Structure 1
Amino acid sequence: MQAEFITVTPQYRKHIALIALNRPKELNALNLQLMGELRDALVALDEDDEVRVIVLTGNERAFAAGADIKQMAGKGAIDMAKVDQFSTWDKIKRTKKPLIAAVSGFALGGGCELAMTCDMIVASETAQFGQPEIKIGVMPGAGGTQRLTRAIGKARAMELVLTGKFISAQEALNWGLVNRVVPVEMYLQSAMELAAEIAQMSPIATQMAKESVNHAYESSLSEGLYFERKNFYLLFASEDQKEGMNAFIEKRQPDFKGK
């Protein structure tokens, strides 16, 4: 079924898929349909062997300016529980392949949370990040209080969440929220360059490495080390491991097949 609020290019570049949020009049506000379409696209791309890295973007004016408040304003607690919108976010979080957010303009509320759900963020100089939910009588609900705290620390996260203030791309870089800041005309290209660098690696190894890094946030050091070691050993069952090490010994570029 054709998506209405996103566009998907499975082979935007070799082994790189591009998903663009596409509700420009609403500054890409994240309604239930858009999030469902995004979830379904990520599931399909995760199963596509030709895709090794996924880039998620909006447009120059907005990555996503937040959730669609009109869909929530009149609902009660039971209504929200029945909608269970966060099950969609949970599925997005489980994307196995590296996911890069290319952010320009507003990344606020749910938009900031969606960017943080990605593995890396490339921001344009015009990007603004924030969790302004407090200004409308609620709080972040899709990971904002948790991922922001882990990325920039308690004191800074507390200030952003309790005041609803925005931070610039440069502040986000200085605080460790984003990977790099580039001119607005370069933000998608820069994200693609990062994706291309990763896409050259073994797709099996990148997925296991991603899984291991993410595990560091949810385990003790000893548990994380055990998890890392298990994935390290498992990679020695892959053809890519043999190819990579032989290529190193033979002083040539490896040809990874994802097997």
Structure 2
Amino acid sequence: MTEPERFGEFTTIAREGRIVTVTFDRGDRLNALSVAAMRELTEVARHLSADTQSSAIVLTGGGGVFTAGADLKDPEAAARKKLPLLEQRQALKVGPDMCAAWEALEQVTIAAVERFCVGGGVALAIACDHRIAGRGAHFRLPEIPLGMNMSWHSNPRLVNLVGPSKAKLITILGEQVPAETAMAWGLADGVTEDGEALEAALDLAGRIAALPPVPVRMSKQSIDMAAKALNLATTYMDRDQFALTAMSEDQREAVSAFLEKRTPDFKGN
């Protein structure tokens, strides 16, 4: 493998034959998705979209973790609440644009997940084609317990993987889904010993990279079209739904209860 080349502040790119490894690392063992980090991950995907020398792309997190999800301390995310409505709506595109950029890649994409994959991290991971998880890793969508809806066009992607019943369990309850359960449900494609997810993801990438690149890309696209033809039509409003729930009293109560370590009292307001 070539020496990793820094793409931006948070990401590096390394190559081995027709395999590209993208490492996202904020250096804090959380790898939370700040607005700046999401923009950079979007730029990485768009940069790789023009790369005809690769057949498989592995996305991994540095520091032994994938990502803790949205950065709740990000000042840029906090500042958008003070913007006019049109600008707020535009600012909310950063997450779905990131996921769409990774989903649109013609190369086969594999997320190597260690320890935790939370909220927007799950949205990013399911925008990839495959997920390999360390045995001690878990997936979790905490948005609904925190008074928000799941957005970033994630609901149909999750349904594509696990079906509607389990998608409801994962999304509505917001509970941890351990790696073994994730694999049994179809959310993960493989489980390894802790610390070995990247190695297993690279092994899968190597098997893909050894195949003729043109039919690999065409097959991925045709399968995606068969499975996802209605995805956007069923989720095009989720950004506005997120903006609405983020202004609700229940959302404020959910966050207050979380910070105060108490049971929330929801009113439907």
Q: CA deviation at 1:194?
A: 0.4
Instruction: Report the equivalent of 2:254.
Output: none
Residue 195 in structure 1 maps to residue 198 in structure 2: no
Q: Which structure's CA Rg is the greater one?
A: 1
Q: CA deviation at 1:152?
A: 1.4
Question: Counterparts in 2 of 1:172-211, with a 5 A limit?
Answer: 172-211=182-221
Q: CA deviation at 1:144?
A: 2.9
Match of 1:80 among 78, 84, 88: 88
- RCO (CA 8 Å, sep 6+): is it higher in 1 or 2? 2
Contact 2:112 2:197 in 1 (8 A): yes
Residue 65 in structure 1 maps to residue 68 in structure 2: yes
Contact 1:52 1:98 in 2 (8 A): yes
User: Greater CA deviation, 200-209 or 90-99?
Assistant: 90-99
Distance 1:129 1:143 in 2: 17
Distance 1:207 1:108 in 2: 29
CA RMSD across the alignment: 2.0
User: Greater CA deviation, 30-39 or 109-118?
Assistant: 30-39
* Secondary structure in 2 matching 1:213: helix
Instruction: Report the equivalent of 1:252.
Output: none
Match of 1:7 among 6, 12, 34: 12
Q: TM-score, normalised by structure 2?
A: 0.75
Distance 1:144 1:43 in 2: 20
Contact 1:5 1:33 in 2 (8 A): no
Distance 1:94 1:116 in 2: 12
Count residues with an aligned counterpart.
218
Q: CA deviation at 1:91?
A: 2.4
Match of 2:58 among 48, 55, 58: 55
User: Greater CA deviation, 120-129 or 64-73?
Assistant: 64-73
The share of aligned pairs that are identical, in percent, is: 31
Instruction: Report the equivalent of 2:113.
Output: 103
The alpha-carbon distance between structure 1 residues 2 and 144, as it changes in their structure 2 partners (threshold 3 A), is closer
Match of 1:23 among 22, 26, 38: 26
The alpha-carbon distance between structure 1 residues 140 and 155, as it changes in their structure 2 partners (threshold 3 A), is same
Distance 2:143 2:168 in 1: 13
Contact 1:152 1:176 in 2 (8 A): yes
Q: CA deviation at 1:61?
A: 4.0
Contact 1:61 1:106 in 2 (8 A): no
Q: TM-score, normalised by structure 1?
A: 0.78
Match of 1:136 among 142, 146, 157: 146
Alignment gaps of 5+ in structure 2: 1-5, 231-269
Q: CA deviation at 1:78?
A: 4.1
Q: CA deviation at 1:2?
A: 4.6
Contact 2:111 2:128 in 1 (8 A): yes
* Secondary structure in 2 matching 1:69: coil
Task: Letter of the 1:46 partner, please give it.
Answer: S
Match of 1:43 among 39, 43, 46: 46
